[in-house]
Chain A
Amino acid sequence: MKYVGIAMLFGLCTLIGMRLAAKKTARLNTVRSLRKDLVLFSERIATGGGTLAKIAAGQNGMLFTLLGRYLSALSDGESELNAAACAADMLKKDSTEQAGIRMFFSGLASASRADLIKRVNTLSPMLERAEGEAETETKQARVLRISGALVGAGLTILLL
């Protein structure tokens, strides 16, 4: 019974490691999607593109989901700052990408085309940095998961 308990404990550690790794991978995917979408967004702005709602329509990327959230908050009567915060709240708390997105969306609705391009140019390096952080975290989480699994399995065998 004792050994079964120990095995379950280590199994749980492994699962927690896996869950952590999955979270980190999700962050990495989000940041990569944001970077990819930002390129698409800037292309649309440069070629006319129509309104923000038209740009967001029919796109699946994370940036466009956030843009949809931002526009929806504005339609609900939120101020531009609050709407930006609503969009940023969909990202990891206190992360580089969250700070970048909050800055990007603050006042986006009343920004000029030149200002939009400036915003893209400011957000791009922030997302690049966030991607670096997310990659490092993901690697660490993978090591943790593998180590946890190995140690857990080894100790379980030893104790049995």
Chain B
Amino acid sequence: MEHWKKQWSAMLPKNVAEVLDRLDDDAPLLEIRLRRDAPLELVFDGSDRIVYGNNGAPMATADEIGSLTAKLMEYSAYAWENERKNGFITVGGCRVGLSGRMIRTDGNVQGFSSVSGVCVRIVREVKDCAKPLVPYLTKGGAFFSTLLVSPPGHGKTTLLRDLIRIASDGLYGVAAGCVGVADERFELSGDASGAAAFDLGMRTDVISGISKSDAMVRIVSTLSPKILAMDELNDARDAAALLDARGKGVTVFATAHGASIAELKLRAPIRMLLRERVFDRIAVLHGVGACEAVFDADGNRVDGNRA
């Protein structure tokens, strides 16, 4: 995986690239936000920085945002049609959120008529970041079905990616097994071609580019995974597919936005999954890659020794 600075300096406008070049290689940069006629916003872990152009000028004009978007899409807007309808594109495993004016025809969202801002989420591959959690998420060398919970930008996807790798390769006392990954937005595998740019382990199969629920149904029915992994549990269809997989004896890994289990229960699909005890372990993160607590299906804390 290419370093984020090298990857994005080549993509972003020259003035933005110069700002990135001045950052330390290990700066905890989480997001690059570029808006039309506005300064650049760099979001770090725990802080953000606003950067103006020369003499207080904005960092990007409408044309520059348009050129950047075209470049990110490799001058092939048609190839990103489905993603753009959902408000993002994925470049090298990084999700790039788009803002601007969207158009709708016959009640269906068609995509953007003009893009006024981009939000690049920097992705890092942190091998072994999940290692400290393995004792709490396994029993007898087998993983429990696990839900990773945190607000956006706290490293759920990074942690999930490492759990997949550990399960697939059979590391740290875990029995190796096939892992099926439903990767709608190419964020887990990091590559739109179907091959994994990130190390997801040697026994991992990825279905990407279609909805997570559709991918999960296909993975369970055709790839016989021991573990099924998906990022960002959102709606009832995702929940139904996870429940179905569990009903077929497949262990599931999932992530969800939320600051606590109490918050999670406000969302009907997740409340249903918790009620059905789909997840044996729920790990709540409180910082980038930092786990606050691990709970069992009854809400009891199981990582007492950690604190």
Binding site for B on A (CB under 8 A): 45, 49-53, 71, 74-75, 77, 80, 108-113, 115-116
- Per a CB cutoff under 8 Å, which of A45, A109, A116 touches B75? A109
A53 adjacent to B70 (CB under 8 Å): no
CB distance from A72 to the nearest CB of B (A): 10
CB distance from A48 to the nearest CB of B (A): 8
Q: Does B67 contact A (CB under 8 A)?
A: yes
Task: Tell me the B82-105 residues at the A interface (CB within 8 Å).
Answer: none
Known: A77-B67, A112-B81, A113-B81. A52 touches B74 (CB 8 A): yes
CB distance from A119 to the nearest CB of B (A): 11
Tell me which residues across on chain B come within 8 A of A51, comparing CB atoms: 73-76, 79
Tell me which residues across on chain A come within 8 A of B79, comparing CB atoms: 49-52
Q: Which 5 A-B pairs have the closest CB atoms?
A: A109-B75, A51-B76, A113-B78, A51-B74, A52-B76
Complex CA distance for A59 and B95, rounded to whole angstroms: 31
CB distance from A50 to the nearest CB of B (A): 6
Complex CA distance for A28 and B125, rounded to whole angstroms: 54
Complex CA distance for A53 and B192, rounded to whole angstroms: 14
Total A-B pairs, Cβ < 8 A: 43
Tell me which residues across on chain B come within 8 A of A113, comparing CB atoms: 78, 81
A111 adjacent to B78 (CB under 8 Å): yes
Tell me which residues across on chain A come within 8 A of B73, comparing CB atoms: 51, 109
CB distance from B300 to the nearest CB of A (A): 48
Complex CA distance for A111 and B67, rounded to whole angstroms: 14
Complex CA distance for A77 and B81, rounded to whole angstroms: 23
CB distance from B257 to the nearest CB of A (A): 31
Listed A/B pairs (18) with beta-carbon separation below 8 Å: A50-B76, A50-B79, A51-B73, A51-B74, A51-B79, A52-B76, A53-B74, A53-B75, A53-B76, A75-B71, A108-B75, A109-B73, A109-B77, A110-B77, A111-B77, A112-B111, A113-B78, A113-B81
CB-nearest residue of chain B relative to A55? B76
- Secondary structure at chain A's binding surface: helix, strand, loop or mixed? helix
Give how many B residues have a beta carbon under 8 Å from the other chain's beta carbons: 14
Tell me which residues across on chain B come within 8 A of A115, comparing CB atoms: 78
Tell me which residues across on chain B come within 8 A of A52, comparing CB atoms: 74-76, 79
In addition to A109-B77, A116-B78, 15 A-B residue pairs with Cβ atoms within 8 Å of each other are A51-B73, A52-B75, A52-B79, A53-B76, A71-B75, A74-B70, A75-B75, A109-B73, A109-B75, A110-B77, A111-B78, A112-B78, A112-B81, A113-B78, A113-B81
B81 adjacent to A109 (CB under 8 Å): no
Tell me which residues across on chain B come within 8 A of A53, comparing CB atoms: 74-76
Complex CA distance for A37 and B111, rounded to whole angstroms: 29
CB distance from B197 to the nearest CB of A (A): 16
Complex CA distance for A49 and B70, rounded to whole angstroms: 18
CB-nearest residue of chain B relative to A67? B75
Tell me which residues across on chain B come within 8 A of A116, comparing CB atoms: 78
Complex CA distance for A116 and B76, rounded to whole angstroms: 10
Complex CA distance for A113 and B79, rounded to whole angstroms: 8
CB-nearest residue of chain A relative to B82? A113
CB-nearest residue of chain B relative to A48? B79
Q: Mark B60-75, 1 if CB is under 8 A from A, else 0.
A: 0000000100110111
Task: Tell me the B171-194 residues at the A interface (CB within 8 Å).
Answer: 193
CB distance from A39 to the nearest CB of B (A): 18
CB distance from B10 to the nearest CB of A (A): 11
Task: Tell me the B191-216 residues at the A interface (CB within 8 Å).
Answer: 193
CB distance from B164 to the nearest CB of A (A): 25
Complex CA distance for A74 and B71, rounded to whole angstroms: 8
Tell me which residues across on chain B come within 8 A of A77, comparing CB atoms: 67
Complex CA distance for A53 and B81, rounded to whole angstroms: 16
A109 adjacent to B67 (CB under 8 Å): no
Tell me which residues across on chain A come within 8 A of B110, comparing CB atoms: 112
Tell me which residues across on chain B come within 8 A of A50, comparing CB atoms: 76, 79, 193
Complex CA distance for A74 and B69, rounded to whole angstroms: 12
Complex CA distance for A45 and B76, rounded to whole angstroms: 11
User: Which one of B74, B76, B81 has the highest number of Cβ atoms from chain A below 10 Å of its Cβ?
Assistant: B76
Tell me which residues across on chain B come within 8 A of A108, comparing CB atoms: 75
CB distance from A76 to the nearest CB of B (A): 11
CB-nearest residue of chain A relative to B76? A51
Complex CA distance for A10 and B183, rounded to whole angstroms: 73
CB-nearest residue of chain B relative to A45? B78
CB-nearest residue of chain B relative to A50? B79
